[in-house]
Structure 1
Amino acid sequence: MRVLVVTAVAAEGDAVCGAVGPDEAEPSSLPGSYELRRGDAVCGADGSDEAEPSSLPGGDELRRVVGRVVALDVLVAGVGPAAAAAGTATALTAAALSGEPYSLAVSAGIGGGFPPGAPLGSVVVADAIVAADLGAETPDGFTPVTGLGFGRVAHHPDPALVKACAAACGGVTGTVLTVSTATGGAARAAELAARHPEVRAEAMEGFGVAEAAAAHGVPVLEIRTVSNAVGPRDRAAWRIGDALAALTDAFRTLPGALATAATTAPAPETPHP
């Protein structure tokens, strides 16, 4: 199983790679001067397989533990939704052309949390990835692009995957907003919270990753760890190191969560003749 993890900056990419450890190969080069780093983890080990146990002298038995290898390809695409979309599309296209397409694209990194639902150091797994400022200002306030009659402003990851990941890493679920301008005041934070009652965090790349993934028919997920509270910018109160450490811890749980989601997802409906 191949998973593409897209971060904005190198520190976030390093944090993700720290979860499983990169392999010994050199980073893979992609068009556009992008590089992919890979780390492998085994997931889905349930202690059983189809074969009979092997017998040993003395009557003991050996049972083989079956697991799947999840390859995490980590891409540092740049800051903002446009850079995220461009980098993600490049990696997804290269993988499809190589005959080894990705099973999942993950937007990952640190971000701002909306208190009290997402305190400093917490993990947020998006059940909705929303472009918060894609639209128009009108006399009646902000109107999303969908209200203008075109486009889309939200992607909804698979609920079973979201639930499994949040349970595995001890995270919360909710809306993660994608913004082009980070919130820097209490009034703007209150406005966003009023428009998006289930909001837990904001960042700058998730919607770009989701748009590229949707264009390629690849499922998407967004995971954010909280480095600061959304609102007035108080850099002295930010906990970037703690958030990066929490990102590493969260990604240590990801392979197992993928296996859990795969086993709990409902089977596809069989079409009626």
Structure 2
Amino acid sequence: MTLVITTATQKEMKAVLLGFNRRGKIGCKFPSLGNYCELPVNEKLCLLAVTGVGPVNAALSIGRILGERKDVTGVLNLGVAGSFDLEQAPLCSAVVADSEIWPEYGLHTAEGIDPEGITFPILEYTGVTGTVSVWDRIALEPEKACRMLNLSVPKDLLKGASMTVSGVTGTEERARMLIERYEPLTENMEGFSLALACLQAGIPFLELRTISNLVGSRKPEHWKLDDALQALGEKARELFV
């Protein structure tokens, strides 16, 4: 079993490694942007990958890995995310995605984006009930993914829909619009691409992120990036114990 552990940035990867070994270092060269290296974690062979920020970088990175490494059996995406609701997902809490949403796919209309408006689904595959079309949402099964990847479920874990965007939501107005239309709990910039790649490859995908900020707010009191990174390392360690 070879597990890919992805983060968008080296800062997030260092936080994960601090959680693993308290040093933030690894026995191989630290993965540079778009690259990966091997690291055993509690006797599990892992590939550490820093994808770069955004859905395009994530897609390019995971595509390269899956093309080069035929031994990959699953992907674990770790990082920080924004919360659409601090009562449901407070700062520094950990959330696993039970679905991934891409709100930027489809036909732009006066009422918003119609994901089926261009008539071409992102992906079609055969499910238990027949042909399944993927438009702007991928359903995930985090508990099943944990079992398949032989990972532990961390304590005090929340679940919710995660939204992948190309540009971070910078206003309260846009945040409200996204909530009304999609009902997401968190916002990230890579998850949908990684989930789609795993769906295409037929391997399990698990996404766990800690909350660094309130979506749509630039107020300092709504940001705790350093604390969220520390929490990320702690939760990453819990997955492997």
> Which residue number corresponds to residue 93 of structure 2?
122
> Which residue number corresponds to residue 214 of structure 2?
229
Gaps of 5+ in 1: 42-68, 257-273
> Which residue number corresponds to residue 153 of structure 1?
136
> Which residue number corresponds to residue 11 of structure 2?
11
TM value normalised by structure 1: 0.73
TM value normalised by structure 2: 0.82
Counterpart residue type for residue 141 of structure 2: D
Match of 1:95 among 69, 92, 105: 69
> Which residue number corresponds to residue 264 of structure 1?
none
CA contact (8 A) 2:77 2:191 kept: yes
User: What percent of counterpart residues are identical?
Assistant: 31
CA contact (8 A) 1:16 1:74 kept: no
Deviation, 1:248, is: 0.6
Match of 2:230 among 245, 249, 252: 245
RCO greater where, 1 or 2, for CA within 8 Å and sep 6 or more? 2
The aligned runs of 1:151-230 (5 Å cut-off) are: 151=121, 152-161=135-144, 167-197=153-183, 199-230=184-215
**Cα deviation per residue 1:68-91 (whole Å; 9 max; x = unaligned)?**
x32332211101001001101111
Q: 1:159 to 1:75 in 2, by over 3 A?
A: closer
SS at match of 1:125: strand
Equivalent-residue separation in structure 1 for 2:44 and 2:216 (angstroms)? 37
SS at match of 2:82: strand
CA RMSD of aligned residues (A): 2.4
Correspondence 1:142 to 2:142:
no
> Which residue number corresponds to residue 45 of structure 2?
71
Correspondence 1:112 to 2:113:
no
Deviation, 1:170, is: 1.5
Counterpart residue type for residue 133 of structure 1: E
Deviation, 1:17, is: 2.0
Equivalent-residue separation in structure 2 for 1:28 and 1:180 (angstroms)? 23
CA contact (8 A) 1:166 1:172 kept: no
Gaps of 5+ in 2: 122-134
SS at match of 1:253: helix
SS at match of 2:96: strand
Q: 1:103 to 1:163 in 2, by over 3 A?
A: closer
Instruction: Name which one, 1 or 2, has greater alpha-carbon Rg.
Output: 1
Equivalent-residue separation in structure 1 for 2:185 and 2:60 (angstroms)? 26
